[in-house]
Amino acid sequence: MSNDEPFFDYKTEKMNLPQTLLFTRHAVTLASAYIKKEIVKVTSADIEEKELNSLVSHVDKGAERILVDELSRIIPQAGFLTEEDTVEDSEKPYMWIIDPLDGTTNSLMGVPHFAVSLALAYEGELLIGIVHEVNSNEQFYATKNGGAFLNGKSIQVSQRKHFNDILIATGFPYRNDYDIDKLFAHLKEWLMNTRGVRRMGSAALDMAYVACGRFGAYYESMLNPWDVAAGTLIVREAGGKVSNYVGDEEGFTGKETLAAAPQFYDIVMEVLNR
């Protein structure tokens, strides 16, 4: 850390966002390396089921501890909202929102598609978002008003013009108390009118793929803030739109999330509300 240009001014509580991003990306890279090393050691005896179809192992918790330790050095006053509760959740002006391993089921089943997802917010406003795919080392990141990037290269949402030329991504709720008929009706719509539907198993990566144009749109409900916070900022900085299913763009609760290139946003919204 350079003494010439501090990334955080404790008197004014203002930060140098590019510097903060740099150190935050380093923390995410450390956690990703830990996951890649440890995930191959996990056995069935190491796996816990937190709730229906929601799995966890020591790898999720170890990665989260790495992130909490590193991030606490960057902004000691910041609070945390984490999936694995390795640190007590605390509401403060600056908040780190962490999913240490998004796509845990994929990782435990040997499917090489899972990521570290991390966001920083100030009084509810997203400042930094990072999604790091562990296997490919693809790191998607963005800062508020600073654009979105993949491994140093600027990215933008799909520029395709026709809805039938895109892939659309979604996820299925783990709970059983949802309207399965509506879910199938949506899938039928996409299968008939797009290039296809993808259910990849990581909300954070689905949103990152919207940001770089691989998917034209993504939607899912019954998620949590740590699933979508980083992706929300990355999609918006890449020129996309993110909201719930009634168009409210405030917040990132995960209860309903629609992320899309602007030219496809209204089409998907209309179908979801039909």
Q: Per DSSP, what are the bridge partners of residue 132?
A: 116, 139
pLDDT over threshold 90, residue 243 = yes
- Listed range (5-14, 110-119, 163-172, 196-205) with the worst mean pLDDT: 5-14
| Alpha helix ranges (H) inside 39-178 | 58-74, 104-108
Unique residue bearing structure tokens 């496809």 = 264
CA 52 to chain centre: 21
AA identity, residue 253: T
What pLDDT is stored for residue 9 in this prediction? 58
For residues 107, 109, 112 and 117, what is the CA-based torsion angle, rounded to 10 degrees?
-20
Closest CA to 273 of 258, 263, 261: 258
6 vs 157, more confident: 157
pLDDT bracket for residue 53 (50, 70, 90): very low
- Listed range (1-5, 39-43, 123-127, 235-239) with the worst mean pLDDT: 1-5
Q: What mean pLDDT comes out for the span 255-264?
A: 96
In angstroms, how far apart are the furthest CA atoms of the chain? 60
184-188 long-range contacts, CB within 8 A, separation 24+: 186/271, 186/272
**Cα–Cα distance between 270 and 21 in angstroms, integer?**
36
Q: What is the pLDDT of residues 130-189, one digit of tens each?
A: 999 999 999 999 999 999 999 999 999 999 999 999 999 999 877 666 778 888 999 999
Look up the pTM and report it. 0.91
> Which architecture, in CATH terms, is 163-272?
3-Layer(aba) Sandwich (3.40)
User: What are the angstrom distances between the C-alpha of 135 and each of 21, 113, 115?
Assistant: 22, 7, 8
259 vs 105, more confident: 259
Strand order in the sheet with 196-198: 196-198, 167-170, 217-221, 256-260, 241-243
Q: What mean pLDDT comes out for the span 106-120?
A: 95
Write down the domain spans for the chain: 8-154, 163-272
AA identity, residue 228: V
**Cα–Cα distance between 95 and 93 in angstroms, integer?**
6
**Cα–Cα distance between 213 and 179 in angstroms, integer?**
30
The reply to whether 163-272 shares the fold of 8-154 is no
Contact (Cβ atoms closer than 8 angstroms) between residue 272 and residue 186: yes
- Listed range (68-72, 86-90, 101-105, 233-237) with the worst mean pLDDT: 86-90
Q: Per DSSP, what are the bridge partners of residue 95?
A: 79, 121
pLDDT over threshold 50, residue 36 = yes
**At the topology level of CATH, where does 8-154 sit?**
Fructose-1,6-Bisphosphatase; Chain A, domain 1 (3.30.540)
